[in-house]
Amino acid sequence: MTTLLRVDNVSRSFGGVLALRDCSLEVEKGSITGLIGPNGSGKTTLFNVITGYVKPDAGTVTFNGKSITNARPNTVFALGIGRTFQLTRIFARITVLENMLVATQRDDSWLRGLTRSMSSKVEVANAMEWLSFVGIAQLAELPAGALSFGQRKLLELAYVLVADPDVILLDEPAGGVNLTLINSIAEKIKTLNESGKTFLIVEHNMEFVMGLCASVTVMHQGSALISGTPDDVRSNALVLDAYLGGGDDEESSEFA
């Protein structure tokens, strides 16, 4: 196993709040890695640093042996890191299929965009294939804004997949969707992982994380507390302390 994505000693503060403090993380190639921690522990900020939306104050991010610290989001995506957002972000006023086509060419030059048509037959076929994979192909012609929250989650997953990234960062894929859909999303992640995709998943649903991830990293107050197998993490005293000691009842009940 080789390390595909590596975060070393990253720090980032917003005003006086230290969102990330000397945070380090390794994602093995071909793994499904879980990232858990109480609200405000810096999980999403870490995602933002990796994908280029937020610049770190210190530390480095390495992907495939290449530094992507301070790279712009489009560059990060072109290199092969796709992500979804906690609150889904889709293009509401264009159709579902057009949403897919935006992401199709991950390193297309802007000049070529001027001279080529919106899509080729191959691209449409490929986009439709991924839409059927997540199960919303029948909605392809609808404006994406007409989709329900759960369907938007699926669309977001589909258009990240259409560009064939190596690593996929999922920010709460099971948040706010019903149980049937959660299971179906977990199945999809497993299938994709078997075909060689690497996943890094932020999630509060412990059953989901523990069932899916071979390795789990716990974040607390901006840094990675421990990493290990789900069983190691579950029984670790520090983790229980982070969740229970923080006085965040909601989190602790979820963890139980």
Partner 1 sequence: MLKTKNLWRLLAQSRKVLKTKNLLWLLAQSRKVLKTKNLLWLLAAVALALFPIFESNPSYQTIGVYTLIFMACSTSWNMFSGYSGYIALGSAAFYGTGAYTMALASIHWNMAPGAAMFWLVPLGGLVAVIVAIPIGWVALRVRRHTFVVITIAIFFVFQLFAINMSFTGGTAGLNLPYISWNASYFDVPFYYVALGIVIFAALLSTSVRRSRFGLQLLAIRDDEDRALGLGVKVAAVKLTGFAMSAFAIGMCGALFAMFQGQIYPQFVFDPLFDISIALMAFFGGLGTVAGPLLGGLILESAQQYLTVTFSNDSLYLILLGSLFLLVIMFMPQGIIVFFRDRYSKKVDRNRSALSQNSLTLNEGAT
Residues that bind partner 1 (CB under 8 A): 51-53, 72-74, 76-78, 83, 85, 87-94, 98, 101-103, 105-108, 110, 112-119, 141-143, 145-146, 148-149, 159-160, 163, 176
Strand 81-83: give its sheet, edge to edge: 81-83, 167-171, 198-202, 32-36, 215-220, 223-228
Nearer to partner 1, 153 or 197 (CB): 153
User: Could you tell me the end-to-end alpha-carbon distance of the chain, in angstroms, rounded to an integer?
Assistant: 32
- Single out the residue of 162, 183, 193, 191 nearest to residue 96, CA to CA: 162
CB 105, min distance to partner 1, A: 7
Torsion 112-117-118-120 (CA) sign = negative
CB of 201 to partner 1, least distance (A): 17
Q: 114: which 2 tokens?
A: 């001027």
Nearer to partner 1, 78 or 192 (CB): 78
Closer residue to partner 1 in complex, CB, 28/129? 129
Q: How far apart are CA 87 and CA 92, in angstroms?
A: 14
Q: Which CB sits closer to partner 1, 176 or 211? A: 176
**For residues 176 and 245, which CB has a smaller minimum distance to partner 1 in the complex?**
176
Write phi, then psi, for 42 (nearest 5 degrees): 105, 15
Neighbours of 61 (CB within 10 A): 24
